Chain A
Amino acid sequence: MSLSQYGVPRSLRDQTDSSGERAGLLQSAGANSGRRRVVVTGMGMVGPLGLGVENVWSRLIAGESGIGRITHFDPSDLPAQVAGQVPEGPTAEGKLTLSDWVPVKDQRKMDRFIHMGLVAATEAVEDSGWKPQTEEDKCATGVMIGSGIGGLQTIYDASITVHEGRAKRLSPFFIPSALINLVSGHVSIKYGFQGPNHSVVTACATGVHAIGDAARLIMLGDADVMVAGGAEATVCPLGIAGFCSARALSTGFNETPQQASRPWDKDRDGFVMGEGAGVVVLEEYEHAKARGAKIYAEVIGYGMSGDAYHITAPAEGHYGAFRAMRSALKSAGITPADVQYVNAHGTSTMADDLELEAVERLFAEDARNLAMSSTKSATGHLLGAAGAVEAMFCMLAIRDNVAPPTLNLDNPSRESVIDRIAHTAQQRNINIALSNSFGFGGTNASLLVRGV
Chain B
Amino acid sequence: MGQNVPDQAARPADASDDDVAGEAYFDAVIAQDSRIEPRDWMPAAYRKTLLRQVSQHAHSEIIGMQPEANWITRAPSLKRKSILMAKVQDEAGHGLYLYSAAETLGMSRDEMTEQLIAGKARYSSIFNYPTVSWADMGAIGWLVDGAAICNQVPLCRASYGPYGRAMVRICKEESFHQRQGFEILLELANGTPGQKQMAQDAINRWYAPSLMMFGPPDDDSPNSKQSMAWNIKRFSNDELRSRFVGMIAEQVKVLGLTLPDPEVRFNDETQKWEHGPLDWDEFKDVLAGRGPCNAQRMERRRAAHEDGAWVREAATAYQAKQAAKQRARMEVAA
Report if A and B associate in a common complex.
Answer: no
- Interface residue ranges, B against A (CB under 8 Å): none
Seen from chain A, the residues whose Cβ lies within 8 Å of a Cβ on chain B are none
